[in-house]
Every structure is written in C-alpha cells, then in structure tokens.
A and B are shown apart, each in its own frame.
Chain A
C-alpha cells in the first residue's frame, strides 16, 4: 500500500494529454484544471487527422456517432486512454462512448471536481486493459502452438510408427537445435505433409546411412 497513492499521481504527471474540445468556457476550464493537476496538456479542435505521436491520453468531446468513426480513423492502431466528454445522456451518446470503449466519462457542464478521478480511473483501466489483452494474446498463441504441436506429433506417429513421447522429443530436439519454436517446426511438418499428400505421396523415414 505504501507509496502507491503517490504513484497514481506520478503516473498522471507522466501522461501526454490531448484535449479535443472547442476552445470555449468548458474547454478552458478543463485545460486549466489539467495544468493545475500538473499535467502536460495540448488542445486541438476540430479533431486532428492524425494524433500527435506521443499522446497517450485523450479527453474528447463525443456527441455523435460520425465523430466516433472519424476518431477511430485518426487513432489508426494507436490505443490511448480515453476520457469521453458528453453533453447528452441520449442513447446515441451512450452508444458513442461504448463504441469508443471510453475508460472514463465526464459530463458537461464541466466542473473541476471529478476530473482528477475520471483521469486517474481511465489511466488505470487503460493500463489494466492493455495488460489483460497482452495476456489474452499470449494465451491464444500458446493455445494455437499446442494445437500445431499435437497435430505434428500425430503425423509423425502415423508415418513413422513411433510413440507420442518419441515424436514429442524429436520435435523438441529439432527446435532446440535450430533455435526456433516448437510450433514453427510443427507447422513445417504440417505444411510438408499437406503438400506431399496433395501430390499423392507420403513423408518417408530417411534411409539410415550404411
């Protein structure tokens, strides 16, 4: 627990914030308050065609769905923390913040109280989401590679009359020797087998040297 509360604030102060909102009273209030909180903040309106490369947090006025589409084009494959600024609580507005996958929301008219909370929450949730999706991606890769390895083992067992354990060891030793992953060895076995059977042939055991 100790020092953690301070880390939340330190994280906010490392944030590179872009505010996409007209330069009116609300816009001014938000920018001044973010500066008051000790953040580096830039403003832009209308929506820029491309996001500045170092921006990692967006406060963005979201009032309609076309805006969300434009924003996702501007974002390209970037993935900043997003705090939506909403004027209406209409179904359209709700859909827009969901489509945008906003990590936090502040409502107009803006007031200073609550901005820090949504900012901190959005940064945290964004970080957590990024860690989670990294984990999911890794798990998916592991799962895929296991499936390939199992398939390759099956091919080796059928064609060479060896048991599962020996087939697995062959794969592993080959991967180690060539310094590649087991799944890539497995994949090449699968590919070769498919190609050969397409030609009406099988992969035969190499003749032992005399």
Chain B
C-alpha cells in the first residue's frame, strides 16, 4: 500500500532505497478527454501491484510504482516517459492508452531500451521488442462483431468515429468485413476527438433520417459519453437499433447512466460478468479497493493482468532488465480474470478470448457470445480471413 495515500498527489516517489524495491513507472491519464477509461487502466495496475506487495512482493521486495498523470496530452506522455527513463531511472513502464500516446513514447522507450506494457485494445500493425501488447488487436474484437451485428440487427450499418488512427483503421476493417458478408455501410463520419453536443447533433439527425439497422461507433472518451446520452434522449429502440462499439464498457456506462445504455453492444475480451472464480476474486478485490459501486471492465482488467504477468516474469528473471523480463514473460501463462492469457512470442501480443456483450439495465453486460478459447493475436492480419464466419447464424 505504499502509494495508496499518495495517489492524490501528482508524483508518487519511491520511499525505499532502489535495491530494496522494484521501481516501475506508471503513465495513465486521470484527467483529460480519456480520463474515465485511463483511470481504469490505473486502478487495475495499482490493484495488482498492491496484491503482489501484500503477498510479500517479488523475491521479497515490493514493487514501487512511480506514477505521473499525462492528462491525455501526447506531449506530456513523451516528457513524462523521458522523466521516468532518465531522471527516475526506471525502465519498465505500464502505460499509454490511445495509439498516439504509445507512438509518442515509443522512440524514447526504444532509445533507452525500456519496456512498455500496453494494456489497451488498438488497431495492430506494430511490433517493437520494447513493447508488450496486452490489449486486443482487431482479429480479437472486430471480426466477430461484424457477424453479430449483421445477424442480429440487420445489414444497413451507420459508422461514426473519432478522427484518429484507431477509428480509421477499425472502420476500414469493419467496412471490409460488413461488405464481404453482404451488409452495407450507409454512412461513415468522423468527428474531432473532443466533439461536443453541437458537433454531434447533425450526426444524430442523419441517423434519424437514414434509419440504419445498427450504428458502429468508434467515438471515444467524453464525446462518446455525450453521444450515448443524446442517442438515448432521441428515443431510439436500442433493442432493435443499438450502438455497437469496441470501447464503451461498464465504467463509462455507469458515468452516462445505465438506464440510457441498455441494449448497446460491446465487443471486448473481458466483461465484469465473465464466469469463473478468478474473475469473482478480481471483481471482489476491485470493489473492496475502489468502492462497491466500482465496476471492472476491459480497461481495468488487462492492466491488472499484465502487472501479474510482469511479476511472474520478474520472479523468474530476478532482474528488471528489459530483455530478461521480455524473454521471461513470453513463457508465462496466467489465469487472468478474463481467462487464461499468455503472450505470442512472434508478435508479442496476447492470446485473448473474444466476447460480445449486450448492456443490461443495471449497466453490466449479458455475454451473448464468446469464442471457445483464446484466439491467437494477428496484429498484421496475416492469417485472419475476412470471409470467415465467427458466429453461426
């Protein structure tokens, strides 16, 4: 609990001499447009570190996080990563959420031979020996969602996205999928990352006019929350015409209001409602730590799991050396709350279990479909076929 009462301050420094502890860096935004989801990354990370320390640490030394809040600003990500790597002399960093923040710190991480553990879902097409990718790449969330939307809601789909790389890439792939399966993308629009009600209104009017069978949204952060609220107020029948997304999970739904979100669809590798003892333990620990109203999600869980994977690798390697940790972690297998996870050594991405959930009135999800087991990550989409059927009609 070293950091616990210090989390409110901007910087949490190591209180023990360096050789009595394992010092690691943590970079997630508790402020800015993505504050809700990135705070969950942070909570998952901190919970795992506390658990490990409570159980005696790794090789009898505690893990000590040095945390900074980049405020969802990519320049801050870069300068704080530099601060961690140079001033604080830390080489392991748990951090980043949007691709732009990962790209901002990557050159520094590579130059200093650090190791970034990245917990967010993203668009793939990256490989660095200085990164471990714990979040889902497109073949682990987007592919099954196309089948689900077409089979359950209909063939006319409306696309709306935030204007940055993840929406652009996932929409490109989603369009190929929908079209190769006989569906139709009736509109595709992009909004600024910080779009407000005024920017969202014309979009909503067009959805009302075109009457799609479903909306595929890759809008994120605060504008996504606004969009979902406006969608609820516009009176759509969400059971028939939901918004499907890859990111709108439990905790953001709680912020929007669960009653405004029931019926919406999420494709993710984790839901709070995943069955199993490992998840029950995780949910109980999370609520115990962050309050009984707190919900776990695909934002907190991978962040939590990757710390545990790291700790096991550290135990095996006995050193924080980036290369040794990398080598060791690729051998680990961990029974995470979402199920068994491990890294694929060819791509350094995680094997994960794709799932699709429909939001309930209590803000959690009914898991309507899940893959039979973990699916191999395919960040360069080399083996995944667009025509393949993931869900039997």
Contacts and interface: CB of A to CB of B under 8 A. Distances in A.
Contact of A9 (B106, B126, B381): B381
A116 B125 CA distance: 9
Interface residues of B, number: 18
A115 to B, nearest CB: 9
Nearest to A2: B175
B179 interface: yes
Interface of B (DSSP majority class):
loop
Interface in B353-393: 380-383, 386
A152 to B, nearest CB: 55
A111 B380 contact: no
Nearest to B381: A9
B237 interface: no
B172 A112 contact: no
A36 B172 contact: no
Give the interface size bracket for A toward B. 10 to 19
B382 A38 contact: yes
A113 to B, nearest CB: 7
Report which residue of B128, B175, B380 has the largest number of chain A beta carbons within 10 angstroms of its beta carbon: B380
Nearest to A116: B125
Contacts, number: 37
Contact of A113 (B126, B175, B382, B386): B126
Nearest to A113: B128
Interface string B202-216: 000000000000000
Secondary structure of the A side of the interface?
A: helix
Contacts of A5: 172
B127 A2 contact: no
A13 B127 contact: no
Interface in B115-140: 125-129
A3 interface: yes
B125 A111 contact: no
Contacts of A113: 106, 126-128
Contacts of B106: 113
B176 A36 contact: no
A37 interface: yes
A112 B128 contact: yes
A3 B176 contact: yes
A189 to B, nearest CB: 58
Given A3-B176, A6-B176, A112-B128, A36 B347 contact: yes
B127 A33 contact: yes
Q: Shortest 10 CB-CB distances between A and B: which pairs? A: A38-B382, A112-B127, A37-B380, A5-B172, A6-B176, A36-B346, A38-B380, A36-B127, A36-B380, A3-B176
Interface of A: 2-3, 5-6, 9, 13, 32-33, 35-38, 111-113, 116
Interface of B: 106, 110, 125-129, 172, 175-176, 179, 346-347, 380-383, 386
Given A3-B179, A111-B110, 5 more contacts: A2-B176, A36-B346, A111-B128, A113-B106, A113-B127
